[in-house]
Amino acid sequence: MNTRRWRWPRTLGARLFLVLLAGIIVAHLLSFAVLFAERYISARQVMLGTLETDVATSVAILDRLPAAERPQWLPRVNRGNYQYILGPGLPGVPEMTQRGKDIAQRIMDASGGRFPVTVQSIPGDGKRVQAHLTLSDGSPLTIDVHPRMTPIAQWLPYVLVLQLLLLIVCCWFAVRLAIRPLVALADAADTLNPNAKSPPLDENGPIELARAARAFNALSDRIAQFVAERVQILAAISHDLQTPITRMKLRAEMAEDSEERRKMMSDLGEIQTLVQEGLAYARTAGGEGEKASRIDLGSLVESLVYDYQDTGKAVSLVENAGGALVTRPNTLRRVLTNLVDNAIKYGGGAAELSVRRDRDVVIIAVMDRGGGIPEDKLEAVLQPFVRLEASRNRETGGTGLGLAIAHQLALAMGGSLKLRNREGGGLVAEIRIG
């Protein structure tokens, strides 16, 4: 037999709301129970208190009246919780509960002990009991007692329901008030970018929330400072290495032509390329960039494709849903150039571009038909100096910075870069702006 196990909601707000709501409902139900129990006890005490004095008067009146006139007086002496019956009443069983003993004692006290009283419970009729006594002339008299709750006011249930709804609304508002700063903190953590200046969290509010906001802002500043220092070190090393590399190349060129000289020139060329890419990455990570402007995206992508086609490269535009876009044009062109060069170099010598829109988001895709990238390495290749031996041939060159630079530039202009494998083989690099 399969039993479905109940699970907690995944959000903290829903959990807090359920806990508080359950507590409020239980407390409300307990309040109802206490209220009705108190009303029952009060009604019982009032009934027993009035029973003694009322029965004493009524029994005395019926005892002194002639037997023929007694039926006419019954409507005058009957009450809501008990009525008088001229006769033996209904057959019952002896009442042994404390309630029956109390009723019998009150009636005997009311009669002054002149009329012996027996109390019986009526089977199948709930709390109904009958007290039997005999009047002075030998006529049987039955007091039919059926305690009942004093009816409550018709408006009381509505008031209680409105009270419960008010408590639920207050509970929901309190949970929202408590969760909102956590949501803001999570959103700030998701959008944290050490390379871009993001607005700090609001440090106003309760002491605990203000302290958490100050701690997060301080953490963000420390991370930005840490990254800036490392980027500055990388930029300084890359810049300073260019001078000795240039001198070494000049000395190698002045040497006699030989196999060793050609190997040295090749190695120095690779080192110089690596240094230049490192300097470019440092500038990109350091946040150097242009101001955003309004451009025609379709024209920019078309001009880029035509430039490649003029040089004999197999680059095509398969879809162009361009239009106006506010972005950094030179930065975007450099990102596309890096991705297209990467596709041509490692994706079979050809690249395809597409531009489409998904509501307010512009998606620019650069596609190839190469070997693709293993699924577990799609995120790793966006990091600097990461090269894949299996899917990217090391002998073709590359520093492992092309995709990292494109990724940093995409972030710098307010977009994102994602890689995924293409159906049928190949790689798709998607830039999302918006």
pLDDT tens column, 72-131? 888 888 877 778 888 887 777 776 667 667 776 777 777 666 777 777 777 766 577 788
- Range 12-145 has CATH code 2.60.40: no
pLDDT at 265: 79
pLDDT at 146: 75
* Rounded Cα distance, 325 and 413, in Å: 12
* Rounded Cα distance, 384 and 402, in Å: 8
- Token pair 């707000």 in the structure block, residue: 13
pLDDT at 96: 63
Q: pLDDT below 50 — which residues of the chain? A: 1, 390-395, 397
Instruction: Quote the DSSP letter at residue 390.
Output: T
Q: Where are the domains of the chain?
A: 12-145, 191-288, 290-433
pLDDT at 47: 63
**Cβ atoms 404, 281 nearer than 8 A:** yes
**Cβ atoms 98, 48 nearer than 8 A:** no
- Please name the fold of domain 290-433: Heat Shock Protein 90 (3.30.565)
Residues in the chain: 434
CA proximity to 289, closest of 188, 384, 195: 195
Collect all residues with Cβ–Cβ distance below 8 Å to 400 and sequence separation of at least 6: 384, 385, 386, 387
Q: What is the CATH number of domain 191-288?
A: 1.10.287.130
* Rounded Cα distance, 384 and 217, in Å: 27
The distance of Cα 1 from the centroid of its chain, to the nearest Å, equals 33
Q: How many degrees, rounded to 5, is the angle at CA 332 between CA 330 and CA 333?
A: 65
Q: How many degrees, rounded to 5, is the angle at CA 404 between CA 315 and CA 234?
A: 135
* Rounded Cα distance, 425 and 420, in Å: 11
- Token pair 């907690």 in the structure block, residue: 8
Q: How far is CA 379 from CA 365, 369, 404, 419, in A?
A: 17, 19, 10, 8
pLDDT at 366: 92
Conformational region of residue 193, where left means phi above 0, alpha means psi within -120 to 50, and beta covers everything else: beta
Conformational region of residue 312, where left means phi above 0, alpha means psi within -120 to 50, and beta covers everything else: left
